Amino acid sequence: MLSGCGSVRINRILADPSRYSNRSVSVEGRVVSVVGALNMGLYEVDDGTGRIFVVSTRGVPTKDARVKVDGTVQPGINVMGRSLGTAIKESGHRVRY
């Protein structure tokens, strides 16, 4: 499993999305943007190497929170009619630190 050794750097996911497609990963970084309502939403995580959107059905963290997220890489994801390119669908737990 790719997430077994800890977090994956976002730039690695974005540089080769087919390698990570539909695989479980962990990423960690700072939340830089948030859109959400009724325990659903979208937030963007920046780990210093890149930014990636995370789709959540469990609510969203606050902007500037530091988080570690477990989820599945989804290439070409569309949310509310907007193409996000490669994103992570949150599946596991999210930890703030």
Give the type of residue at 76.
G
Domain that holds residue 25: 2-96
Tally of CB atoms within 10 A around 90: 22
In this predicted structure, what is the pLDDT of residue 36? 79
pLDDT band at 95; cut points 50, 70, 90: confident
Tokens standing for 75?
Answer: 């290439």
What is the average pLDDT across 29-50? 90
Asked if residues 61 and 96 have their Cβ atoms less than 8 Å apart, the reply is yes
Q: What is the chain's mean pLDDT, rounded?
A: 86
Domain with residue 45: its CATH number is 2.40.50.140
Domain count for the chain: 1
The share of the chain scoring above pLDDT 90, in percent, equals 60
Q: Which residues on neighbouring strands pair with residue 63, listed in sequence order?
A: none
